[in-house]
Structure 1
Amino acid sequence: MVDVLTYVKQIQASVHEKDSHQQEFLQAIDEFMGTITPFLEEHPEYVAHNLLGIITEPERIVQFRVPWQDDAGNWQVNRGYRIQFNSALGPYKGGLRFHPSVNLSILKFLAFEQIFKNSLTGLPIGGGKGGSDFDPKGKSDAEIMRFCQSFMTELVKHIGPDTDVPAGDIGVGGREIGYLFGQYKRLKQYDAGVLTGKPLIFWGSLGRTEATGYGAVYFVKHLLADENEDFKGKTVMVSGSGNVAIYTIEKLQQLGAKVITCSDSSGYIIDEAGIDLALLKEIKEVKRERLTSYQEKRPSAKYIANDSVWNASLKVDFAFPSATQNEIDLEKAKRLVTNGVKVVAEGANMPSTLEAANYFIENGVHYCPGKAANAGGVAVSALEMSQNSQRLTWSKEEVDQKLDEIMHNIYRSCRDTATHFNQPNNLLLGANIAGFAKVAQAMISQGLV
């Protein structure tokens, strides 16, 4: 039998050859492959079954056209996708992203990451992802409704409460989920559990809006507790100003930290007095304005246009990248380390390049990868599925307590796995191996289907 390292490199090379143009997917593959060898050395039976070759191929990829009519009566068309990557642990689960950058590579990377993220939650959900290159920005509610209805007219053929349960992601919030759910209901039937992230009025879950941001903070809370530390008096950088960033900031402030940055696609804010969360929510959640409006109403704030917040040279304790993939490269990682950052917790999916992640780990920074740190969103989505199945609604406090417990379990699983393989500071290795181990066992038990 071929040795483990050679086997891993062969699979890695094979994926690169087959999907050479899918850079984001290859990045996710390389990150995973770079950590899995120690586990396979303990479990050579997985090499014999070629488990890596099987798990790196999606079970199903669905691509379809989405025709829709704009307010001027013109017909437009976008591409729609659903990647059903792995169902070993349960129905496919993962969000829908509506953004001009969406392509097959990005959705495959997100779906591949989702396999292990969902496994880490300990809940019965497989990995999937989907979306469209449709851009909701600048569109009227009527245009978004017509697009969502057209998108669901095709997607309905491939999803169901026990088959594939999409949720929201970038560009898909409660409004979009509502339109998608309404069209599903018209075409099929009322299945409360077919989508998560629903508005509360039709079986959404309390606490789902806050879950990803809160969960990232809870993950770090438990990490800090191991070192007899907490958030009080700490200074934090956060990127983004969407759902994840806003509720990351909210929970950080509740636990005593001072957050001094946020950002959007046009630039970033530095507010040394601490981000005014009420103002940020008004601008982003109510008025849907750019961050320039924040500066206009907040004398202590400075706005820097057309630049990344990670180019700012600020002395901070913790960083929570919560915007999008690959926002922190090696140069930005070096700047953060120079400025004293002790923890980098990813609220977004793969916001650090592989070089940046490795630099954090090599320099003693607690690097908390997205597949672990931002698993709170999908965890509460799975709790929403449970409530829908039982026809019950849990209190916000009950959901939040379960979220905290799940994030504590995820942290401990990553920590203990990394320690077992003699790399106690490598939570990336811990997350990858802990997530993979459960999926691998299920796949073997099911006959490698």
Structure 2
Amino acid sequence: MLAHLKFGAQLLLLGVSAPLLLFPAQLPEATLAILLVLIAYWSVETFQRCPWPATVFNGALLLFLIMVGVGILVSPWPEVTLSKATGIILGLHLFRWITALRKPEFQRLSLYLFIVAVLAIWALGMVSVSWGRKIPLLSDWMALLPPRIYSLPGAPGSGVSPNQLGGVLALVLPVFVALTVGGNLRLPALFHWLVGILTVILAATLLLTQSRSGWGGGLLGILSLLVLGGLSSEKRWPKYGAACLLLAALLVPIIILAGVGPVQVGAFLQESAHGQLETELVGTLTLSGRVEIWSRALYAIQDFAFTGCGLGTFRRVVWILYPLFTITPSNDISHAHNVFLQMAVDLGLPGLIAYLALLGTAGFVSWRVAPAGKRERWLALGILSGLIGYHIYGLTDVLALGSRPHFLFWWMLGLLALEGEKSFADESPVSEIGSNY
């Protein structure tokens, strides 16, 4: 009974803190108050038991947290950094809460709440996105979509970019596919059917975003799920099928490049029947524009290698220190259009190393959980595939660290850490004693 009351109080704290931390500038006094409440809560938890749940992510996470602190301290524009910092705090609070859960019913509820959170982000995106007209074949379908009817606080005047919504979908879509096909998760059959319907809706939305980065990330994320699921199967034919699928994925781009020619492929990336293939993230941004932004990010990393420019400050630093020539200052360059460059710009090279260590740990945990027969296998592989899909998307676009949908990244890491701990405990002769809620 006490454990259920405590769990309910934690959910209430999450429900109250989430909107304030996602939109800190709307109610600054309330945001400060909830930060003090979180500090008090963490202090009480620290005195009652360990300061942080024991997970395989903790080593990389410690370095990452240190560099987040550095990125906040060196920022010359606190008003720009504030929303990113509170977004990271929300993500870390979610990670801590999830990894401390031990009762199976609470663990399942954290998964259900993740699905609800994804649907909330999807719903907000549908009413606040400025839909583009980049792909002629989809023009008739795009005309059926309602215009933007809501502006999120702090969002650009033109509305949320469909590329950003595409990045969120590339991150979570493989997880939904895994939950649909993962019959060994010991979840109700109705759950799999409902998630399957939601998967179709999310996939259709990804198509309508017309985000080529999102398309590539979502497609390769699902492809990764199929390959990883087949290679980790105990049956022979899924292994062969996965190997053939992987071989085809490697050969098809090579065949296209050899048949069409690199010059024609380059021309396609630069132009379409209507001129330039553009993204609406900052008005009109072509591939050459991205290359210029990447070069400025590299200059910033060279100048601020150990500390970064400051969390979320690239949008101002770039115009002061590294002006662009092909993009006008009226465009808001909010990030480096590459997730790895952006991480180094925000947190320096040590922060990038810590981030890569988090991703490497996620891959290690997923593969440890992946052997056939383990009930956690499909969820773990889905999360890993989602991370792969997101970072494919992240080669040309970014959900900036601490941005509003970025808490889903930490939620997925928390679920993965939880599944990893359960798997490791099953393999250990003596299970580790943990929290009782």
Question: What's the TM-score once normalised by structure 2's chain length?
Answer: 0.28
Q: Which has the higher contact order (CA 8 A, sep 6+)?
A: 2
TM-score by length of 1: 0.28
Higher normalized helix content (fraction of residues): 2
